[in-house]
Structure 1
Amino acid sequence: MNIYFDEKEKIFHLQNKNMSYIMQVMEGGYLVHLYWGRKIKEYHKSNPIIFVDRGFSPNPDSNNRTFSLDTIPNEYPAYGNGDFRNPAYQLQLENGSTVTDLRYAKHEIYDGKRKLKGLPAVYVEDKNEAKTLEITMEDKAIGLTVILSYTIFEKFDALTRSVQFKNNGSEKIKILKALSASVDFRSSEYDVLTFHGAHTNERNMDRRPLVSGIQSVESRRGASSPQNDPFIALLEKNADEDCKEVYAFNFVYSGNFIASAEVDQFKNTRVSMGINPFDFSWILGQKESFQTPEVVMVYSSKGLGSMSRTYNKLYQSRLCRGKFRDTVRPILVNNWEATYFNFNADKIVEIAAEGKKLGIELMVLDDGWFGKRDDDFSSLGDWIVDKNKLPDGLKDLANRIHDIGMNFGLWFEPEMVSENSDLYRSHPDWCLHVPNRPHTFGRSQLVLDLSRNDVCDYIIEAVSKVLSSAPINYVKWDMNRHMTEVGSAKLSPERQRETAHRYMLGLYKILEELTSRFPEVLFESCSSGGGRFDAGMLYYMPQTWASDNTDAICRLKIQYGTSVVYPISSIGAHVSTVPNHQVGRITPMNIRGHVAMSGNLGYELDLTKLSEEDKELVKLQISTYKEIREIIQFGDFYRVLSPFDGNEAGWNFVSKDKSEMVGYYFNILAQPAAASRILKFKGLDENTLYENIATKEAFYGDELMNVGLSIPIIREDFSSLMWRFKKIK
């Protein structure tokens, strides 16, 4: 790992064991992109930019019609001086103009990686893990400084990018657009991969060929959203899980974003990512600065699987933080689908007692424990125990759960307020709102204005008071609606379009404070399920509820799609009752268990109502999961069969030392005249002899990977199989 600078040629070469990223400062101070991909030892300009007169492409120098910003691969492209493609940033000056012109001024190379103030980001624990390049660009005419930051890692084929704007001039600057990364590829022969979805249908894979024009995904909802994930990748044609090149971009941010791929007139492709400029602006006063969030870029020469494992390992070990980063996650039972709002303390203890018999470790009390919360029309913001349901309070209930031998967890939705609440009646201006406009409600609730310090302080103290009042081991942090009437009573008219980003900065401030105050509490993020499953939240909370849809068949796609970027240790997955509450499907306990065991296992049903047969199955699932959960949560994950491609799915997990493997196969609908199937596992040591724990059959790793195992003919719907192999030689 190193960053080289050729002083004569003005070429930067960022390099680690598998990857190179190369830029050059051209004559005039323009910074151009030359190469990103498989590692090369040294760069000797084998792919020089070809300069020709492109007719109507404008030229900075009237005497040189071959040089145009509209045709060169710009590293951080501007607007207004010749490049008509998607700009990475746009500013407005006091005179109303929006033209800027950044030129190279200087650079700094140093060991390690600095924190981003107030923002989540990938980190290092030792400065020798990474090297950082900061390139300072200037527009001297207006006193603007822009620092482009690049960090390359020793152990990961990843590069992080972010940008800082500094106003050193005498006038205010309005930022209209400030993306975090832009890369120009000198080809359009790629497929583009993105994710789309909806509530209860998150992270569906969408792969399609690039075409001329702009292809993009974005969120304007105030959250990263279930509709589109802050991720985009270019895939070499015919790239699959195991071969060919992938160039991926993921945004470490939980709010509005945009990710786009633009194919220009000359079949070049510009990929860019950052805060969505829609309804965004930011005023920079004299000597003020603005920091963009971080984009994590991953290169793989071995397909999507290798790309995923890079993201998974990097995020698990250098994005997630705290005690639970490296700790196996508890098996929990949540009462939501068991009782909804209709519960009391005795019922929660009854479920916990049954859970203890089955081997469950954590009882989670969901929505309805506070205020007068008998439905979803009231009480959000009033974080005071409902004595009708819990007459002896939270501490008594938590102690009763602990006395059983289980830990206790609690649901919150701190970012929201109900109109029917004491908090709203006392502070109606604390919600996001626009003067003289009626509120729009979502789930009968409003969004608190986290751009305000007083609101943030209230949330911190209200949640802290509850967490200090009882032995609480886990928090499920929910957020069940998106932003409307995005305005703040505290901001001036010219700063109203800063509200959504200031909200995110406020949220990150809250989460930083609470997770620091309560380091022994395991925090799990939730947003109507997986509506804010992003890298920004993982920085504060090491796991996320993947979806409110607990149906095992739907979860095959949801969890498969989620695994493309996010580590298995971050994926909350529960077994629920049948008929399923979201889609009405009836599936066997076996497949429900196998799907949920492929993430952080939990249960979301009334355990007291299970049949004795199902209780025995649950007990077996839990005891098995305890034996394998370190492999599941912290091993290497390999996707084998995609549920997006047909009637089946398959994947396997391999321990870090390759001594153990857990594999799963899922068949959705039984087929007439079903063909015999073979499942080939991945990631094993080809020279190791592995024993099937159930049958005692032994096979070398090369046979399991290249020949594979025969799948029995399946004659029933919604079937699943599980294998466990262990090294014997």
Structure 2
Amino acid sequence: MINNWEATYFDFNEEKIMNIARTAAELGIELFVLDDGWFGERDDDRRSLGDWVVNRRKLPNGLNGLAKQVNELGLQFGLWIEPEMVSPNSELYRKHPDWCLHVPNRPRSEGRNQLVLDYSRQDVCDYMIETISNVLASAPITYVKWDMNRHMTEIGSAALPPERQRETSHRYMLGLYRVMDEITARFPHILFESCSGGGGRFDPGILYYMPQTWTSDNTDAVSRLKIQYGTSLVYPVSAMGAHVSAVPNHQVGRVTSLKTRGHVAMSGNFGYELDITKLTETEKQIIKEQVAFYKDVRRLVQFGTFYRLLSPFEGNEAAWMFVSEDQSEALVAYFRVLAEANAPLSHLRLKGLDPNQDYEIEGLGVYGGDELMYAGVAVPHRLGDFISMMWRLKAVQR
């Protein structure tokens, strides 16, 4: 997929979006996702959350017109929403100021210039079910990114008496589950991905309704080694969203190669989040090759057995691999963070292979499965920081 967020933030119009979509189609990308800024007067993060009506100044043909243009390019169309939030500067808040979580006679703490809607209230949940359903029914949408960008504070409800205020947080989650249950049931063809400032709400309850989660808003490839490795200890790789973003990275300022960013992101649900219209022809060719390669191996990544080989928490390297159920194919990813002078020759021991089977490693040769698991594969020496390698193994006849 390609998401326009880090390419445009709130500053976009239909022409800019379509330029990104056209470039994405040329690169073989399958899904375009329109992020924050498409509704109300949402030109920044200080207004309009809760006003889920398309901004015709930015998108004169509406969501339906834009989505159809994207579809004509051969891409599916996805959409960002944040249905649990409301901006104080919004029509919804001006009409229903009591619909947010709050404690009477106390200031309402804002986070990212927004407040949390009170999903412990049935009327709020009913309203959001119908409002979001109307949006999703208005265009050929096949993917939704459901965001939640702040912590809950002043957890009180105007709908409950003082002696029952402690029920609010639990009733909020029950209300949220009801909203998610109803919306996902109404739109079974839509793939829902949850997000909460990244993986702030990566949990089994949300995964029941939304089978994948945006793992972290930190898209830096080096940071993601620990983020994705750690997440994999609890949740399957198929649930982790992972994207290639721009450099210098918008969160930490680090510069890593497009190759390394691609290898890290391919170790999850693969996508891009940068302005692909400004790339060089060489960079576009690299992305085109990455997309084609991932299409070829994504079933292995998403449904193969995942093995952790080297922990990024324990040293300068990280590695993991995916093995097909019949052990006939595998994909290995290796990463070295910082270069070392006179570094010793490194051997990476693999896992999960058939010890009685020979495997061909593209570019390296043919080895026995037992050899690869007990002696390991010699890691080629490379100069420089933030190095990555990816090897594909296929079983061959002895």
Tell me, yes or no, if structure 1 residue 724 matches structure 2 residue 379. Answer: no
CA distance in structure 2 between the aligned counterparts of 1:657 and 1:516, rounded to whole angstroms: 35
Q: Residue type matched to 1:401 in 2?
A: V
Q: Secondary structure at the match of 2:7?
A: helix
Q: Secondary structure at the match of 1:363?
A: strand
CA distance in structure 1 between the aligned counterparts of 2:30 and 2:362, rounded to whole angstroms: 26
| Number of the residue aligned with 2:342 | 673
Q: 1:107-186 counterparts in 2 under 5 A?
A: none
Alpha-carbon shift at residue 693 of structure 1 (Å):
3.3
Q: 1:59-138 counterparts in 2 under 5 A?
A: none
Q: Secondary structure at the match of 1:583?
A: coil
Q: Deviations over 1:277-305 (max 9, x none)?
A: xxxxxxxxxxxxxxxxxxxxxxxxxxxxx
**1:474 touches 1:523 (CA, 8 Å); kept in 2?**
yes
Q: 1:358-507 counterparts in 2 under 5 A?
A: 358-507=27-176
CA distance in structure 2 between the aligned counterparts of 1:354 and 1:722, rounded to whole angstroms: 26
| Number of the residue aligned with 1:641 | 310
Q: Residue type matched to 2:391 in 1?
A: W
CA distance in structure 1 between the aligned counterparts of 2:15 and 2:304, rounded to whole angstroms: 39
Q: Residue type matched to 2:76 in 1?
A: N
CA distance in structure 1 between the aligned counterparts of 2:341 and 2:159, rounded to whole angstroms: 65
Gaps spanning 5+ residues in structure 1: where?
1-331
CA distance in structure 1 between the aligned counterparts of 2:17 and 2:357, rounded to whole angstroms: 48
**1:569 touches 1:600 (CA, 8 Å); kept in 2?**
yes
TM-score computed with the length of structure 1 as normaliser: 0.54
2:372 is matched with which residue: 685, 689, 704?
A: 704
Q: Deviations over 1:570-606 (max 9, x none)?
A: 0000001111100111111110000000001000001
1:653 is matched with which residue: 313, 322, 341?
A: 322
Alpha-carbon shift at residue 488 of structure 1 (Å):
0.5
CA distance in structure 2 between the aligned counterparts of 1:493 and 1:514, rounded to whole angstroms: 31
CA distance in structure 1 between the aligned counterparts of 2:185 and 2:68, rounded to whole angstroms: 24
| Number of the residue aligned with 1:552 | 221
Alpha-carbon shift at residue 448 of structure 1 (Å):
0.3
**1:675 touches 1:713 (CA, 8 Å); kept in 2?**
no
Q: Deviations over 1:141-165 (max 9, x none)?
A: xxxxxxxxxxxxxxxxxxxxxxxxx
CA distance in structure 1 between the aligned counterparts of 2:239 and 2:14, rounded to whole angstroms: 30
CA distance in structure 2 between the aligned counterparts of 1:577 and 1:595, rounded to whole angstroms: 14
Q: Residue type matched to 2:87 in 1?
A: S
Q: Residue type matched to 2:328 in 1?
A: S
Alpha-carbon shift at residue 714 of structure 1 (Å):
2.2
Tell me, yes or no, if structure 1 residue 601 matches structure 2 residue 275. Answer: no
**1:478 touches 1:528 (CA, 8 Å); kept in 2?**
yes
Q: Deviations over 1:88-119 (max 9, x none)?
A: xxxxxxxxxxxxxxxxxxxxxxxxxxxxxxxx
Q: Residue type matched to 1:716 in 2?
A: G
Tell me, yes or no, if structure 1 residue 686 matches structure 2 residue 355. Answer: yes
Alpha-carbon shift at residue 694 of structure 1 (Å):
3.6
Tell me, yes or no, if structure 1 residue 581 matches structure 2 residue 250. Answer: yes
Q: Residue type matched to 2:165 in 1?
A: Q
Q: Secondary structure at the match of 2:342?
A: coil
Q: Residue type matched to 2:353 in 1?
A: L
CA distance in structure 2 between the aligned counterparts of 1:544 and 1:621, rounded to whole angstroms: 22
Q: Deviations over 1:245-304 (max 9, x none)?
A: xxxxxxxxxxxxxxxxxxxxxxxxxxxxxxxxxxxxxxxxxxxxxxxxxxxxxxxxxxxx
Q: Residue type matched to 2:297 in 1?
A: I
Alpha-carbon shift at residue 436 of structure 1 (Å):
0.6
CA distance in structure 1 between the aligned counterparts of 2:205 and 2:237, rounded to whole angstroms: 16
CA distance in structure 2 between the aligned counterparts of 1:469 and 1:577, rounded to whole angstroms: 32
Q: 1:272-421 counterparts in 2 under 5 A?
A: 332-421=1-90
CA distance in structure 2 between the aligned counterparts of 1:446 and 1:488, rounded to whole angstroms: 13
Gaps spanning 5+ residues in structure 2: where?
none
Structure number with the bigger relative contact order (C-alpha 8 A, sep ≥ 6) is: 2
Alpha-carbon shift at residue 686 of structure 1 (Å):
0.9
Larger fraction in helix: 2
CA distance in structure 2 between the aligned counterparts of 1:514 and 1:641, rounded to whole angstroms: 41
Q: Residue type matched to 1:569 in 2?
A: S
| Number of the residue aligned with 1:211 | none
Identity, in percent, stands at: 65
Q: Secondary structure at the match of 1:473?
A: strand
Alpha-carbon shift at residue 493 of structure 1 (Å):
1.4
**1:359 touches 1:622 (CA, 8 Å); kept in 2?**
yes
Q: Deviations over 1:33-72 (max 9, x none)?
A: xxxxxxxxxxxxxxxxxxxxxxxxxxxxxxxxxxxxxxxx
TM-score computed with the length of structure 2 as normaliser: 0.99
1:517 is matched with which residue: 174, 186, 208?
A: 186
CA distance in structure 2 between the aligned counterparts of 1:687 and 1:352, rounded to whole angstroms: 47
Alpha-carbon shift at residue 535 of structure 1 (Å):
1.1
Q: Residue type matched to 2:371 in 1?
A: E
Alpha-carbon shift at residue 334 of structure 1 (Å):
0.2
Alpha-carbon shift at residue 406 of structure 1 (Å):
0.2
| Number of the residue aligned with 1:629 | 298
CA distance in structure 2 between the aligned counterparts of 1:363 and 1:619, rounded to whole angstroms: 15
CA distance in structure 2 between the aligned counterparts of 1:354 and 1:622, rounded to whole angstroms: 13
**1:694 touches 1:724 (CA, 8 Å); kept in 2?**
no
Alpha-carbon shift at residue 532 of structure 1 (Å):
0.5
CA distance in structure 2 between the aligned counterparts of 1:435 and 1:722, rounded to whole angstroms: 57
Q: Secondary structure at the match of 1:539?
A: helix
Q: Secondary structure at the match of 2:382?
A: coil
| Number of the residue aligned with 2:382 | 714
Q: Residue type matched to 2:169 in 1?
A: A
Query: Whose radius of gyration is greater, 1 or 2?
Result: 1
CA distance in structure 1 between the aligned counterparts of 2:231 and 2:88, rounded to whole angstroms: 35
CA distance in structure 2 between the aligned counterparts of 1:721 and 1:577, rounded to whole angstroms: 20
Structure 1 segments, 4+ long, off by >4 Å, are none
CA distance in structure 1 between the aligned counterparts of 2:55 and 2:332, rounded to whole angstroms: 45
Alpha-carbon shift at residue 346 of structure 1 (Å):
1.2
CA distance in structure 2 between the aligned counterparts of 1:468 and 1:430, rounded to whole angstroms: 25
CA distance in structure 2 between the aligned counterparts of 1:672 and 1:711, rounded to whole angstroms: 16
Q: Residue type matched to 2:226 in 1?
A: K
CA distance in structure 2 between the aligned counterparts of 1:687 and 1:457, rounded to whole angstroms: 59
Q: Residue type matched to 2:161 in 1?
A: S
Q: Secondary structure at the match of 2:32?
A: strand
Q: Residue type matched to 1:525 in 2?
A: S
Alpha-carbon shift at residue 536 of structure 1 (Å):
1.0
Larger fraction in strand: 1
